[in-house]
Structure 1
Amino acid sequence: MNVAAPTSGRVTCRARALVAALSLLFAALACAQPQPSLTPAEQRAAAVTQVVLGILSYARWPVEPAQLRLCLVGPTEYADDLIKGTTQSTGRPVLVQRLLAGDSRIATACDAVYLGQLNQDERSQLFSAIGGHPVLTISEAGDPCTVGSVFCLRVSDQQVAFDVNLDSVARSGVRIHPSVLQLSRRRAVQP
């Protein structure tokens, strides 16, 4: 994608800030930085939290929520840090709650859904429920990112990366900054 060069100093400053912020996100994606006091599972959970918060910070909803509502659906392996709740780098609080896949509130009580292990019927029911609502979906379950999820995490001991389903981005009603989409493409072609 081509982006026009900014014409004012104010926009240039914003562009530099965006590049700096994206650099931080890219660094978090590059590898899970080991912390001596954390187990490998805790390190992966912390790295997943960084990546998820990074993704959420570059998403824009039609009406920006004052408090971002992240719902965890299904059994999750890496959501321990997310459950604690957090604040985005912008200062916006992130409220995290667990819901069942069949909960009728998902479409209206969640701005983003972090999907754990769900069977095919549960996934179908969930994606039917959020259809037509601006809900961003992030899947941790290692699926090939072809069925409904906008972002699909790839978690290993060395790094946390993600794939993007562009079809799902278009249907989600949530805008994603193009640099995040390009990052996914670059990472997909790197060995």
Structure 2
Amino acid sequence: MLEQILDRVSEQPQAWNMLRRVVENGFRGERAVIERELAPWRDVGQREFLDFGCGTGEFAPAFPPTYYTGVDLARYYVQYAGRHYPGRFAVASGAAIGLSGEHFDAALVLGVFHHMPDALVRASVAELHRVLKPGATLLVMEDTPPPDPWNVAGHLMHWLDRGGYIRTNQEYRALLAPQFSVRHNYAMRSGICDYEVYVLDRSV
């Protein structure tokens, strides 16, 4: 019964957004990382950005709308994003985005890979390598097991999030190689949720 309720909530973009904003302190941690690592509003017009697994478009306002493209597998999320945020949005599979190669200067992957088995992550990483320009930046933020055993709320949120593939730092690193090299990597907590942040360079 509870799993059915959670499925229904996740299919209601407004309800899901409200829940995530509460438990993640308005996404302040994620927004700060995006600004620090990608600086989307610097040199506006000179870079194209891809939001891979954009969901409801929550982070679209962090980017210049004319140079932002968000893709997601869930059609109802993409439709919601298109109604509420500027930018370009499209329904696409992670393994086949359907966009031209070497087009984007930077990409964001936020809370996506922990919903995918290893084979699909590898296929998605290969597709990201294809659509990004040589030397482009890939910013990945992924859920990791809470390092604090007393972070009961964080463990509960992982269960509510329905991500069945939460991995360790080393496991994520292995999946991102060899198409991308790690420039730097650090832990970040957003509200009650723990993340690993990876700033990566596209290999030539």
In the superposition, the TM-score normalised over structure 2's length comes to 0.41
More strand by share: 2
In the superposition, the TM-score normalised over structure 1's length comes to 0.43
